[in-house]
């Protein structure tokens, strides 16, 4: 029995690849261990909503045969992965949280195709909220997904099924689409590493709720890996990043190398204060402790006193950009519901007005977004990464209250959950740059995972990923498997 067999959640993909390469483990054995966990204790999580066991087993047999024959193998050969249900994976159902408009995928989304070409074994699909529009991953057709650290709590959304599956060891990795925190919040709440790439470097074609068969890539959202190590996140990004669709005829992506090779001398700015983005004391304390540890390791750590984005103005710009993206995938019924909210107060009304804005207004917002990206580039001339919250608090208990009316309690103060959970994700990604989520360990008060973001310059994805890997190697951060997994 190998060390991997003792606890799948306690091993990352990099370690599993080493065991596969050494012959200590076969791809078939590794897959069967994942399937046994999925069908056993993993079933209670409600994370996986569809599987392709026959296809996965055939793929695992093919990996082992290629290895035995000495044929070249892909960089992910033999690693079992799951796929967020909103992405097409041939042979499995695709949904955005409901059966009424689900479909059976007849071809892979580019993301899934790249994973298969790299040798990954696609096991199943993971749960999402309806329209991917909640920080709880629950719906009437597929049920609750539970957080493996505490089944009474949310694993996040919309990639909550993905995060729960990876944290519990049901998959080596999964892939969160992230508009306003749908990757970063679940990664933080489930104690994972994750990487929201720079806009546009990983394709979102073949992803609901956008129209099927479309060729338009989104301008604001991104999709990236959630894993149990920084090394795994970097490994998956290398496979996923690149031109797709019509652009692939000529365009090629060449991300620059990381700008750091040691924690000593790494320039880190800490950004914790924005009136539109409340955060609780437990999370602030965890991030401060990580910043102090980085400083003790030789990093140059300062406060960020001049962020390129501030307050409600930045949040409202993001909401308009978000609205301009998601309206493309709304059906007629959803558009009618949105139109009825144009006079509503707060961010719900701002989103509805964004759905109906003029083309001229949308183009003005695109220009504002580019200007902010330019200002972030200036910040990153001074700092390699910016450290900030990934979520305002640890995972909250599940609530039966509708998302638009739900409240979140931060240090005894109730705030609107819909406005607050994704606030740091919204404000930090207006400029389209990368964000690497890092697990900071259990909060001092809740005992639940706390996460942070390392922000990088647009297209400088390798730098925050490298800082995360260096901090992990130094023992400053790590994924800790949930008790019992």
| 8 A C-beta contact, residue 139 and residue 97 | yes
**pLDDT mean across residues, the chain:** 95
| 8 A C-beta contact, residue 81 and residue 108 | no
Which pTM was predicted? Answer: 0.97
pLDDT tens for residues 221-259? 999 999 999 999 999 999 999 999 999 999 999 999 999
Element (H, E) at 112: helix 110-117
pLDDT at 219 over 80: yes
Instruction: Report how far apart, in Å, the C-alpha atoms of 316 and of each of 132, 160, 279, 321, 346 are.
Output: 20, 25, 19, 9, 10
> How many whole angstroms separate alpha carbon 453 and alpha carbon 199?
16
pLDDT tens for residues 285-322? 999 999 999 999 999 999 999 999 999 999 999 999 99
Beta strands 93-94 and 103-104 are antiparallel
pLDDT at 395 over 80: yes
Q: What local confidence, expressed as pLDDT, does residue 329 receive?
A: 73
Hey, is 116 helix, strand or coil?
helix
Q: What local confidence, expressed as pLDDT, does residue 4 receive?
A: 66
Element (H, E) at 111: helix 110-117
Taking the CA atoms of 205, 207, 210 and 214 in sequence, report the sign of the dihedral they define.
positive
pLDDT tens for residues 328-365? 777 778 777 777 888 877 777 877 888 888 889 888 99
Percent pLDDT > 70 in the chain is 99
Calculated CA dihedral for residues 187, 208, 367, 342, nearest 10 degrees? -100
Q: What local confidence, expressed as pLDDT, does residue 400 receive?
A: 96
Q: What local confidence, expressed as pLDDT, does residue 75 receive?
A: 98
pLDDT tens for residues 169-213? 999 999 999 999 999 999 999 999 999 999 999 999 999 988 888
Strand runs labelled E in 297-346:
300-303
Residues 6+ apart with CB under 8 A from 190: 147, 148, 149, 155, 156, 163, 164, 166, 167, 226, 395, 449
Q: What local confidence, expressed as pLDDT, does residue 1 receive?
A: 36
pLDDT at 5 over 70: no
Question: Tokens 């977004």 — which residue?
Answer: 369
- Read off the tokens for 454: 């390392």
Hey, is 143 helix, strand or coil?
strand
> How many whole angstroms separate alpha carbon 475 and alpha carbon 418?
34
Neighbours of 357 (CB within 10 A): 15
Q: Is 298 left (phi over 0), alpha (psi -120 to 50) or beta?
A: left
Looking at per-residue confidence, does 25 or 323 come out higher? 25
State how far Cα 398 lies from the chain centre: 20
Catalytic machinery residues:
84, 158, 182
Average pLDDT, integer, range 56-64:
98
Average pLDDT, integer, range 3-21:
90
pLDDT at 45 over 60: yes
Average pLDDT, integer, range 257-279:
97
State how far Cα 329 lies from the chain centre: 20
Minimal CA–CA distance to 38: which of 91, 69, 71, 82?
Answer: 82
Average pLDDT, integer, range 109-127:
98
Looking at per-residue confidence, does 313 or 2 come out higher? 313
Average pLDDT, integer, range 93-117:
97
Domains, the chain, in order of start with CATH, read 3-473 (3.90.1300.10)
> How many whole angstroms separate alpha carbon 394 and alpha carbon 338?
31
Hey, is 453 helix, strand or coil?
strand
Q: Is 475 left (phi over 0), alpha (psi -120 to 50) or beta?
A: left
- When mean pLDDT is compared across 214-218, 382-386, 467-471, 472-476, the lowest value belongs to 214-218
Beta strands 80-84 and 121-126 are parallel
Neighbours of 39 (CB within 10 A): 13
Provide the pLDDT confidence category of residue 109 given band limits of 50, 70 and 90. Answer: very high
Percent pLDDT > 90 in the chain is 88
């Amino acid at each position: 029995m190998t060390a991997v067999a003792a606890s799948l959640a306690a091993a990352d993909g990099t370690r599993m690849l080493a065991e596969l390469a050494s012959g200590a483990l076969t791809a078939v054995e590794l897959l069967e261990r994942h399937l046994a966990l999925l069908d056993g204790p993993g079933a209670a999580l409600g994370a996986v909503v569809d599987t392709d066991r026959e296809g996965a087993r055939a793929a695992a047999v093919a990996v082992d045969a290629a290895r035995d024959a000495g044929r070249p193998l892909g960089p992910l050969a033999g690693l079992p992965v799951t796929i967020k249900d909103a992405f097409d994976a041939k042979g499995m159902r695709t949904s955005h949280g409901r059966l009424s408009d689900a479909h059976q995928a007849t071809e892979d989304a580019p993301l899934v195709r790249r994973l298969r070409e790299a040798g990954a074994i696609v096991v199943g699909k993971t749960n999402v909220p309806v329209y991917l529009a909640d920080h709880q991953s629950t719906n009437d057709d597929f049920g609750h997904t539970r957080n493996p650290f505490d089944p009474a709590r949310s694993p996040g959304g919309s990639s909550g099924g993905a995060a729960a599956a990876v944290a519990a060891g049901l998959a080596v990795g999964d892939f969160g689409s992230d508009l306003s925190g749908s990757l970063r919040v679940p990664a933080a709440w489930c104690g994972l590493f994750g990487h929201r790439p720079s806009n546009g470097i990983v394709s979102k074609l073949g992803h609901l709720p956008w129209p099927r068969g479309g060729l338009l890539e989104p301008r604001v959202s991104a999709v990236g890996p959630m894993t149990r190590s920084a090394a795994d996140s970097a490994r998956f990004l290398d496979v996923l990043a690149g031109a797709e669709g019509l652009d692939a005829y000529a365009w090629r992506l060449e991300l620059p190398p990381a700008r750091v090779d040691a924690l000593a001398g790494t320039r880190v700015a800490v950004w914790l204060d924005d009136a539109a983005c409340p955060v609780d004391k437990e999370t602030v304390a965890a991030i401060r402790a990580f910043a102090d540890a980085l400083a003790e390791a030789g990093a140059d750590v300062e406060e960020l006193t001049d962020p390129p984005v501030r307050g409600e103005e930045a949040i409202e710009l993001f909401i308009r950009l978000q609205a301009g993206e998601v309206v493309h995938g709304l059906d007629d019924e959803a558009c009618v519901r949105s139109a009825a909210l144009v006079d509503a107060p707060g961010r719900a009304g701002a989103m509805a007005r964004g759905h109906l804005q003029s083309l001229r207004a949308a183009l003005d917002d695109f220009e504002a977004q580019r200007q902010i990206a330019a200002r972030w580039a200036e910040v990153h001339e001074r700092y390699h990464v910016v450290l900030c919250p990934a979520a305002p608090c640890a995972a909250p208990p599940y609530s039966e209250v509708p998302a638009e009316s739900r409240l979140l309690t931060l240090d005894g103060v109730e705030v609107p959950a819909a406005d607050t959970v994704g606030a740091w994700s919204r404000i930090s990604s207006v400029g389209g740059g990368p964000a690497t989520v890092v697990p900071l360990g259990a909060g001092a008060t809740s005992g639940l995972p706390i996460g942070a973001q390392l922000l990088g310059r647009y297209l400088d994805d390798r730098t925050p990923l490298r800082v995360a890997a260096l901090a992990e190697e130094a023992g400053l951060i790590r994924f800790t498997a949930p008790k019992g997994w």
